[in-house]
Each structure stands twice: as structure tokens, then as C-alpha cells.
């Protein structure tokens, strides 16, 4: 029976990726707009799922431990968001301690990555509350633009690998395209009246941090001998596979906040 020809190898997952992305963008847009408890709840769930995936791939034979860690992660992040004090740090490092103290491969690497996940979750909710909707939209737009342009440029242009030993598919052409895409996002927000020209280089720097987050997750998976963190998201693998870049981007914004105020450059409460 005749039918539509199967897509070529490098585009074979495109349709599934697009459908999954549309669903995720729709849910994310509603939650970002709602803010408050609804947005915090989504971030807590995603954070717990990412730690579950991390625990699973670093200790695949310990099936109960990842579930326990996921529940503990969700509770710890919720407690940290409620306390908002020095004590909150103890809850943010709790999943790291649990990963380091349970038998698994690369315990220190897994523990450090878990801390980055927790900081990103905490930072996203804090950023939404303190800087408003525009700040989250800018951050997500930077990461998405970098990822999308990098995806298409890497497959269309190819060329030398960015870091072949850790991330075989990532090319310099895709990486550079990601920086350009992020810069254009910063330019668009600047022209729309949010922030000044420094938003352009800042967007490119945040995109680079996102790419490093992607490479870090690739490193963890390669050491664990897995292709995807899980199969929770059709066409994208796991939650970590989809949000690894956002982790790097949010952590960088939080670190920059310690040096100089970043959020006033983007927008106010909304």
C-alpha cells in the first residue's frame, strides 16, 4: 500500500518533536502567565522528575531509590520556596546529599548536577515572582531560540564538532547559530522597550550557559551509557533532555544576580 515516504534520517524525529514541543509550550505559557502557586507547582514537579531521571541513569538497578529521591526533591524544593531564608539552602542541597550517599556511579558528578537542578528550580520561581512574566519569557525565548537555530543549522550546515567526545552531534555551526538566535531575542526585547542594549550580549551569554548545560547532561548520559534520560517526552527523551539548557541558563542568571542586578534589565513585576 502506498503512502507518504518516510522522512530522511536526520529529520525522522522532527514531526514528533514539533508536536511534543507545541504541547509543552502551551502548558508552559499558561503556567508562566498564571504565576504564583500554579507556576511553582509545575517547576517543583519538573525538578522532581529531573532528579528522578538523574538517579535512575546513575543507579539503574536501584529502582526504589529514584522514586524516593523524586518525592524528597519535590518536598525539599517546596520547603525552600516557602522558607526563603538561609535555612532554605539546607533543603536545596538535600537531594545532592542523598545522591552522594547512595551507591551509584559518578556520585560526585550526580550530586553536583542535582544541586544545579535544584538551584534552577528555585531560581525560576524566584525570577517569576521578583521580575515578572517578561523575565521568564525572555529567558525561555533565549533558550528556545538557541536550541532551535542550533538544531537546524547543525543539521543543514554540519561542519566541525564543538565537543565531539562528550556531545557528538553538536557542531560549531549550530553553536554559533544559537548565539545569533539568542542575540536576536535580546535585540527584540530591547526594541520592545525591555532593557537596553546590554540585553543583547547578555542573551548570548545566557545561551552559551544553556549550551554548556546541554553538554553537561550529555556527559552524564555518556558516562551512564544511555541515549536519553528517560522516555517521558516523545521525540525529546526525558525531562532532563528537554530542560538541560534551561538549567544552565537559570543558574548563570542567579550567579550574575550576586554580582550585579540582572532582572531590572529585563522587566518589572507582571
Per-residue pLDDT at 21: 74
Instruction: Compute the CA torsion angle 194, 197, 201, 207 (nearest 10 deg).
Output: 20
What per-residue confidence (pLDDT) applies to 205?
Answer: 95
pTM: 0.87
Mean pLDDT of 121-143: 91
Q: Summarize pLDDT for 254-263 with one digit per residue, the tens.
A: 998 888 777 6
Give the C-alpha distances (Å, rounded to integers) separating 137 from 31, 141, 142: 11, 6, 8
Q: Where are the domains of the chain?
A: 14-265
* Dihedral Cα 223, 225, 226, 227, nearest 10 deg: 80
| Residue 214 contacts residue 167 (beta carbons within 8 Å) | yes
Using the predicted structure, report yes or no on whether residue 99 has a pLDDT greater than 70.
yes
122: which 3 cell numbers? Answer: 528555585
Element (H, E) at 163: strand 161-163
Residue 95 confidence class, pLDDT cut points 50, 70, 90? very high
Q: Among 10-19, 129-138, 229-238, where is mean pLDDT lowest?
A: 10-19
SS3 content of the chain, % helix, strand, coil (to 5): 75, 5, 20
Torsions phi, psi of 207, nearest 5? -60, -40
Amino acid at each position: 500500500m502506498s503512502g507518504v515516504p518516510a522522512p530522511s534520517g536526520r529529520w525522522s524525529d522532527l514531526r514528533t518533536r514539533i508536536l511534543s514541543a507545541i504541547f509543552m509550550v502551551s502548558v508552559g505559557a499558561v503556567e508562566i502567565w498564571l504565576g504564583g502557586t500554579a507556576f511553582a507547582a509545575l517547576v517543583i514537579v519538573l525538578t522532581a522528575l529531573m532528579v528522578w531521571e538523574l538517579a535512575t541513569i546513575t543507579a539503574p538497578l536501584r529502582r526504589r531509590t529514584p522514586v524516593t529521591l523524586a518525592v524528597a526533591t519535590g518536598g525539599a524544593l517546596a520547603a525552600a520556596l516557602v522558607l526563603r531564608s538561609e535555612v532554605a539552602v539546607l533543603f536545596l542541597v538535600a537531594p545532592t546529599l542523598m545522591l552522594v550517599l547512595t551507591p551509584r556511579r559518578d556520585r560526585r558528578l550526580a550530586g553536583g548536577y542535582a544541586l544545579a537542578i535544584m538551584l534552577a528550580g528555585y531560581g525560576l520561581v524566584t525570577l517569576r515572582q521578583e521580575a515578572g512574566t517578561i523575565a521568564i519569557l525572555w529567558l525561555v525565548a533565549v533558550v528556545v531560540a538557541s536550541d532551535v537555530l542550533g538544531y537546524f543549522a547543525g543539521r543543514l550546515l554540519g561542519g566541525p564538532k564543538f565537543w565531539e567526545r562528550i556531545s557528538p552531534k553538536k557542531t560549531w555551526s549550530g553553536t554559533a547559530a544559537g548565539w545569533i538566535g539568542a542575540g536576536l531575542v535580546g535585540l527584540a526585547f530591547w526594541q520592545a522597550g525591555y532593557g537596553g542594549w546590554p540585553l543583547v550580549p547578555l542573551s548570548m551569554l545566557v545561551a552559551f550557559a544553556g549550551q554548556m548545560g546541554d553538554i553537561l547532561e550529555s556527559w552524564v548520559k555518556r558516562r551512564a551509557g544511555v541515549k536519553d534520560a528517560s522516555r517521558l517526552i516523545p521525540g525529546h527523551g526525558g525531562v532532563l533532555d528537554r530542560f538541560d539548557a534551561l538549567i544552565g541558563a537559570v543558574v548563570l542568571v542567579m550567579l550574575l544576580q550576586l554580582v550585579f542586578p540582572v532582572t531590572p534589565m529585563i522587566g518589572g513585576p507582571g
